[in-house]
Structure 1
Amino acid sequence: MGQVEDEARRVAALKACRRVLANPARESIAERMARLAQEGAEAYDTTAPVDFYGDEASVVGEVERRTAELLGAPAAAYFPTGTMAQQATLRAWAGRTGNRTVALHPLAHPERHERGALTAVSGLRTVHPTTDPRLPSAAEVRDFEEPFGTLMLELPLREAGFVLPTWEELVATVEAARERDAVVHLDGARLWECAPHFGRSPADIAGLADSVYVSFYKSLGGISGAAVAASADVVAELRAWRHRYGGQLFMQFPAALSALAGLRNELPRLPSYVAHAKRVARALREGLAEGGATWPRTHPDEPHTHQFQLWLPYPADVLNEAAVTQAEETRESLFGRSRFREPDLPGLSMTEVTVALDALDWSEEDVRRAAADFAARLP
């Protein structure tokens, strides 16, 4: 079966499911438009004029004001993508510090998913205080042998398993950067769901840094879009860089409306997702083991956010076939659109599990039972 046919089979199976634990099937265009019309009207006056090149007296300006308020910052700038947002921010800091070197983790998004854009587009250089699958410690930042102008911290570190340090560790790492006269930028694409782990508000977390980027689609269910919060003078410069990078879009009201809807509807729900993810991870391990799967592991054992990794020692194609067959035969799906892949060793597979609104309908026993059924389909 070809890739197109395989994906069509998966989508059809998910559409027919009575319920999906994680990563449900994508909405149709008509479904997404209808939801945007309803949720957008609940979050903003949709009788107002559309935006015009991101003017502040529009829905885009409202997203910026609301983001700044939630993050306890003087101002925020809206960007069409997170990649552009961080390009502009790190380039601005390079000019202000006089140092074009950015210290970040080798698993961070700019290093793994942006085709070397920091160097190719912005002329920046990156260094890595640690290669361990966690954020750098205070000692690693303080003792790093090369100077750098900006320390970028991804919260959580997605590729390492959505992992976070303790609050005390994070504060110490930030203080170590300050001792070196470096500015601190937070890649907070998933900052919103970090609050329960730290026991702090998003504003408390953002207050540690000189700038923070947040996404409106990764956890909040928006169409697209991002923002960077910082001081008013930095945000003014970011708007200039946004124009240079091609982010001065004529109209962005659909994405901006969906951002406001996400802040209104999803943001208050995130703590319940994070709490339920701990139960889901435990039930997955127990159910898979009961069903006969070898060495089921979630990483972290207790998730730090509402997302975590599931590892199983089977080829990815075997696991993906079992997943779609289970969906077809039981009309229940554990993993939805998420596929297993073999990132390190052949035959050792991983998938990411995101616990959101649909997952709240699953009890631990529901997850355990479905996981045991899934395991029974494995060789």
Structure 2
Amino acid sequence: MAEDKAQRRWLARQACTRALSGHLPMTAAQRLESFRSGGFDLDALPDAYGDGPVRDLETRVAELLGKPAAAFFPSGTMAQQVALRLWADRSGSNAVAMHPLSHLEVHEREGYVHLTGLRPVWVTREPRQPTPDEVAKLDERFGTLTVELPLREPGFLLPASFAELTEVVAAARARGAFVHFDGARLWESTVHLGQDLATIAGLADSVYVSFYKTLGGISGSALAGPADFIAEARAWRHRYGGNIFQQWPAIYAAMSGLDTVLPQLDSFVAHAQTVAAALSALPGVRVHPNPPHTHQFQIWVEGTAAALDEANLALAETEQVWFIGGWRDQTPTGLAMAEVTILQGALSWSAEQVTEVARKVFQR
């Protein structure tokens, strides 16, 4: 039944002509055609164990982030575990200061604990970014501080300002710790923080970025940092099984995202404010945070996730319009929550159109 529903959802989304939240899916043929139309030479030699286009992407990402070197990883989970392992070796401490709602803790089955022997130290349990004072006053030693930018689970939250982020990093350094940024969504953080990618990444010793969460890639990530650190990370990437024979589809998709999506992110973040304001004006609808820190935010409404997903799917099947999917029940509140992602397809939606479609879905 779950597979049938997933297929129904994919087919409905694929047939849509408009989408408020997220990417509309592409078939393999459509993806290949996007490579051709994007100027990629599909008759050229593919990569082999990390050479050719893989090295080209690594060089480009290192330059964007202002780091001496970068390494491509098939997954962010692998990249982050390698990074934290290396900083633990260099600091002499297996304690990693982090947030309990971080991706490392919530979505990676505690791989950093079971595979690397690290242990967490919670900076704060509050559903927000940690403060400089909390980092400074942690009551035990830690070798690495990891900061997720933005922190997804409580609403894609960023520090209040770049100055506050700078103070958080300084507090960790004063404790003799290294700093790693989980920047899976760092790309869209520049507007709120008021700095370019290289300036933000320059605060940290290492940074991980994703190529599919925002940029619309197939898979893959990059880890950037000092040259000797990245050289050692490549060795651990091999040990973890990440030195894959050919990865050109993921590489081309990542390059395409850097070419076409990254330059538009400022407009996505700006339009998220318009969409959030329109949704929050509806009775019984809450948006968090309001205004959004990035082009992603949470929407909370009364009802069940199953009913809301079905209403959204019915609209997609009858009108070829995708509103917001992926609802989750928030027991015991009686509310359901979904994450909204504003991308190119949403830019044509006016506040009035957002309101009109939202009412159609909620009335269902």
> With structure 2 as the length reference, what TM-score do the two structures score?
0.96
Correspondence for 1:345 among 307, 332, 339: 332
Rounded to whole Å, the distance in 2 between the matches of 1:111 and 1:52 is 33
* DSSP 3-state at the match of 1:173: helix
Q: After TM superposition, give the deviation of residue 90 of structure 1 in Å.
A: 0.5
Q: How does 1:270-309 map to 2 (within 5 A)?
A: 270-286=265-281, 288-289=282-283, 295-309=284-298
Correspondence for 2:322 among 312, 329, 333: 333
How many positions carry a matched residue from both structures? 363
Q: After TM superposition, give the deviation of residue 342 of structure 1 in Å.
A: 1.1
Q: From the superposition, tell whether residues 225 and 180 of structure 1 become closer, same or farther in structure 2 (CA, over 3 Å).
A: same
Which residue is equivalent to 2:116?
122
Correspondence for 2:72 among 39, 59, 78: 78
Matched-pair contact (CA < 8 Å) for 2:13–2:25: no
Letter in 1 for 2:260: N
Rounded to whole Å, the distance in 1 between the matches of 2:96 and 2:39 is 38
Rounded to whole Å, the distance in 2 between the matches of 1:347 and 1:216 is 35
Rounded to whole Å, the distance in 2 between the matches of 1:157 and 1:318 is 28
Rounded to whole Å, the distance in 2 between the matches of 1:13 and 1:247 is 34
* DSSP 3-state at the match of 1:36: helix
Correspondence for 1:245 among 240, 245, 249: 240
Unaligned runs of 5+ in 2: none
Q: From the superposition, tell whether residues 39 and 138 of structure 1 become closer, same or farther in structure 2 (CA, over 3 Å).
A: same
Unaligned runs of 5+ in 1: 290-294
Which residue is equivalent to 1:10?
9
Q: After TM superposition, give the deviation of residue 200 of structure 1 in Å.
A: 0.4
Which residue is equivalent to 2:36?
37
Rounded to whole Å, the distance in 1 between the matches of 2:126 and 2:88 is 26
Q: From the superposition, tell whether residues 117 and 304 of structure 1 become closer, same or farther in structure 2 (CA, over 3 Å).
A: same
Which residue is equivalent to 2:310?
321
Correspondence for 1:87 among 69, 81, 86: 81
Q: From the superposition, tell whether residues 15 and 258 of structure 1 become closer, same or farther in structure 2 (CA, over 3 Å).
A: closer
Letter in 1 for 2:2: Q
Percent identity over paired residues: 51
Q: From the superposition, tell whether residues 226 and 11 of structure 1 become closer, same or farther in structure 2 (CA, over 3 Å).
A: closer
Q: After TM superposition, give the deviation of residue 372 of structure 1 in Å.
A: 2.0
Q: After TM superposition, give the deviation of residue 333 of structure 1 in Å.
A: 2.4
Rounded to whole Å, the distance in 2 between the matches of 1:246 and 1:343 is 37
Rounded to whole Å, the distance in 2 between the matches of 1:315 and 1:305 is 26
Q: 1:223-278: per-residue Cα shift (whole Å, max 9, x none)?
A: 11111111111111111111111111111111111111111111101111010111
Correspondence for 1:159 among 153, 160, 165: 153
Correspondence for 2:345 among 346, 355, 358: 358
Q: 1:37-68: per-residue Cα shift (whole Å, max 9, x none)?
A: 33251xxx55542212112xx10101111001
Matched-pair contact (CA < 8 Å) for 2:14–2:26: no
Matched-pair contact (CA < 8 Å) for 1:220–1:266: yes
Q: After TM superposition, give the deviation of residue 368 of structure 1 in Å.
A: 1.4
Which residue is equivalent to 2:55?
61
Q: After TM superposition, give the deviation of residue 179 of structure 1 in Å.
A: 0.5
Matched-pair contact (CA < 8 Å) for 1:316–1:347: no
Q: After TM superposition, give the deviation of residue 359 of structure 1 in Å.
A: 0.5
Which residue is equivalent to 1:134?
128
> With structure 1 as the length reference, what TM-score do the two structures score?
0.92
* DSSP 3-state at the match of 1:159: coil
Matched-pair contact (CA < 8 Å) for 2:308–2:362: no
Correspondence for 2:210 among 211, 215, 224: 215
Rounded to whole Å, the distance in 1 between the matches of 2:6 and 2:270 is 32
Matched, 1:183 2:170: no
Rounded to whole Å, the distance in 1 between the matches of 2:17 and 2:214 is 23
* DSSP 3-state at the match of 1:342: strand
Correspondence for 2:143 among 140, 144, 149: 149
Indicate the RMSD between aligned Cα atoms, in angstroms: 1.5
Correspondence for 1:371 among 352, 358, 362: 358
Matched-pair contact (CA < 8 Å) for 1:314–1:349: yes
Correspondence for 1:206 among 197, 201, 204: 201
Q: From the superposition, tell whether residues 15 and 67 of structure 1 become closer, same or farther in structure 2 (CA, over 3 Å).
A: closer
Which residue is equivalent to 1:292?
none
Rounded to whole Å, the distance in 1 between the matches of 2:55 and 2:7 is 39
Rounded to whole Å, the distance in 2 between the matches of 1:362 and 1:135 is 31
Matched, 1:110 2:104: yes
Letter in 1 for 2:215: L
Matched-pair contact (CA < 8 Å) for 1:79–1:225: yes
Letter in 1 for 2:237: R
Q: 1:126-151: per-residue Cα shift (whole Å, max 9, x none)?
A: 11010111111001000000100000
Matched-pair contact (CA < 8 Å) for 1:189–1:218: yes
